[in-house]
Structure 1
Amino acid sequence: MLILLEIIQMLITIARWVIIIHIVLSLLIAFNVINTSNDFVRSIWNGLDALTEPVYRPIRRILPDFGSLDLAPMVVLIGLSIVDIIVSRLAANIATGGAVPL
């Protein structure tokens, strides 16, 4: 059971990094530091967009429209942090035999 929880924590960490890289890349594209006419940049952008857009889409439907400000990545990062806290507490509780309060 602990191995499964560690795998979940590793996947949460990977998801966090993918979202952070997506945010940074979107800022670099928005401020024209890098250009999507480059094939390499476009392929990275399309790959990251394919990974993150299915997660962002339902959140964007719920959030009010803030114009060009997209708060969906922040909501996802907060949600991932909450899940990570729950998983780490659960792992600590299992490792100590129930001595750690949830």
Structure 2
Amino acid sequence: MTTGIDSRTGTGIATRTLTVRYFAAAKAAAGTAEEIVELGSGATVADAVDLLRSAHGPELGTVLDRCSFLLDEFAVRDRSTVLRDASVLDVLPPFAGG
């Protein structure tokens, strides 16, 4: 966990570092295979997805609507799951084939 400054209040806030790994169509839409983002303490998977959507625009947003996610190698069933510091979020679009 790191400490940042809340731009509204000027006070210190705890942040979480999250590594996001994109696969297939998500990788193409994001324009990268991996990135590191900072979120506030108590942030959830849903918060991370919202941040990614706003950071990368509508193309990734459309892909994210169809994606499933792994958080630290476990399937995310509840997007209100709170992130821990230094977690890894895998963004997995639907895959075809068998």
Normalising to structure 2: TM-score of the pair? 0.30
Q: Which has the higher helix share?
A: 1
TM-score normalised by structure 1 residue count: 0.29
Instruction: From the CA coordinates, give the structure whose radius of gyration is larger.
Output: 1
Relative to total residues, which structure has the larger strand share, 1 or 2? Answer: 2
